[in-house]
Amino acid sequence: MSTDATARVRDEWNSQAASWFRQRESLFAASRPIHEWMIDHLDIRPGMRLLEIAAGPGDTGFLAAERLDGGRLLSTDLSPSMVESARKRGAELGITNADYRVLDAQTMDLPDASFDAVLCRWGFMLMPDPLASLRECRRVLVPGGRLVFAVFTGPEENPFASLPARILMEWGFLPKPTEGWHPGILALADRTRLLSLIDRAEFATVHVEPVSMVWTFSDLDDYWAFLVDLTALGPLVRTLPAETRDRFRAAIDEQLARFTSPAGIALSSRCWCGVCRTASVS
Ligand SMILES: C[S@@+](CC[C@H](N)C(=O)[O-])C[C@H]1O[C@@H](n2cnc3c(N)ncnc32)[C@H](O)[C@@H]1O
């Protein structure tokens, strides 16, 4: 696994953390179908030890933490600034049964079989080595433990990401998804590739299904702020030369016209939501 690539991802998400904290309520409201599916499939039990990886501001884990009844959440992220956001968010929500830690989910400094469940919403596709992370999830889970995750499906179902990504690819600022592994918002869109990674991580069972949500924006400026301040494409967009960035913005505005109504902009979105279980002791 490339430590340079992981360091780059960490720097990029450090730069997004303040915006994620500012937008925590609206992000969480828009994505409700996804985290509700995840919580429903977590099989929450009293005293459960729960790990959240790539937690960002931590809301999915906090939703579970409130129901752990004597259990404890370890909320983690690669980005120290995101972990600070989660710490503030946990305090704001009055969560008292959570601990916080900076953690690279590809190499977890955690003992074997130390958690009953792991949560990962919108994390694996952004990692330079998602297989390493899936294997680490399996390792830290108890026998019969479960990993519940969400990653985005394909470009046609996720215009919020594919519209800007296609332009950036055509203009040579992003690699095309033809060969090799390039982390990105839609990098685990292919169900076969996703299932193959899970299989190679040696989970005993897996169930994956599509779950839909909708991103809404009041106007073009609102979408642009979302793209630049919150998505994984933001750090790249910020480094485009000013003239290119203006042309890019104009190209996006043009493409968003067909998603715009007097009520604003509505972009449907879909995730693969999955639950994987480790083998039980016989
Ligand atoms: C799109 S955000 C999702 C945040 C949160 N899970 C949510 O759904 O609101 C992706 C998060 O993955 C984290 N991340 C990326 N690579 C990681 C890695 N190798 N280990 C742990 N976290 C990572 C980023 O720092 C960022 O906070």
Task: Specify if 223 maps to a domain.
Answer: no
Q: Is the CB of 9 under 6 A from ligand 1?
A: yes
Q: What is the pTM of this model?
A: 0.96
The total of other beta-carbon atoms located within 10 Å of residue 250's CB is 10
Task: Specify if 224 maps to a domain.
Answer: no
pLDDT tens for the chain, 282 residues: list them: 568 999 999 999 999 999 999 999 899 999 999 999 999 999 999 999 999 999 999 999 999 999 999 999 999 999 999 999 999 999 999 999 999 999 999 999 999 999 999 999 999 999 999 999 999 999 999 999 999 999 999 999 999 999 999 999 999 999 887 767 889 999 999 999 999 999 999 999 999 999 999 999 999 999 999 999 999 999 999 999 999 999 999 999 999 999 999 999 999 999 999 999 999 975
Task: Specify if 238 maps to a domain.
Answer: no
Q: Is the CB of 19 under 6 A from ligand 1?
A: no
Task: Specify if 229 maps to a domain.
Answer: no
> What CA–CA distances, in Å, run from 137 to 1, 134, 140, 276?
16, 5, 5, 10
In contact, 121 and 54? CB cutoff 8 Å = yes
Q: Quote the pLDDT of residue 46.
A: 94
Q: Quote the pLDDT of residue 255.
A: 95
Tokens of 246: 């203006």
Q: Is the CB of 115 under 6 A from ligand 1?
A: no
Can you tell me the distance from the alpha carbon of 71 to that of 123, in angstroms, rounded to the nearest whole number?
24
Q: Quote the pLDDT of residue 134.
A: 98
Q: Quote the pLDDT of residue 281.
A: 75
Residue 260 phi, psi (nearest 5): -105, 140
Q: Which residue, judged by its Cα, is nearest atom 4 of ligand 1?
A: 56
Q: Quote the pLDDT of residue 163.
A: 97
Task: Specify if 177 maps to a domain.
Answer: no
Q: Is the CB of 121 under 6 A from ligand 1?
A: yes
CATH of the domain at 121: 3.40.50.150
Q: Quote the pLDDT of residue 179.
A: 66
Task: Specify if 96 maps to a domain.
Answer: yes
Q: Quote the pLDDT of residue 282.
A: 59
Q: Quote the pLDDT of residue 182.
A: 87
Query: At 221, which helix (H) or strand (E)?
Result: helix 220-230
Can you tell me the distance from the alpha carbon of 152 to that of 185, in angstroms, rounded to the nearest whole number?
7
Q: Quote the pLDDT of residue 227.
A: 96
Task: Specify if 228 maps to a domain.
Answer: no
Q: Which residue, judged by its Cα, is nearest atom 27 of ligand 1?
A: 56
CA dihedral sign of residues 40, 46, 48, 52: positive
Task: Specify if 247 maps to a domain.
Answer: no
Q: Quote the pLDDT of residue 170.
A: 93
272 strand-pairing partners = 151, 210
Q: Quote the pLDDT of residue 177.
A: 74
**Structural domain span for residue 34:** 3-154+187-216+269-277
Number of domains in the chain: 1
Pocket test for ligand 1, best of 1, 31, 35, 82 (most atoms within 8 A of CB): 82
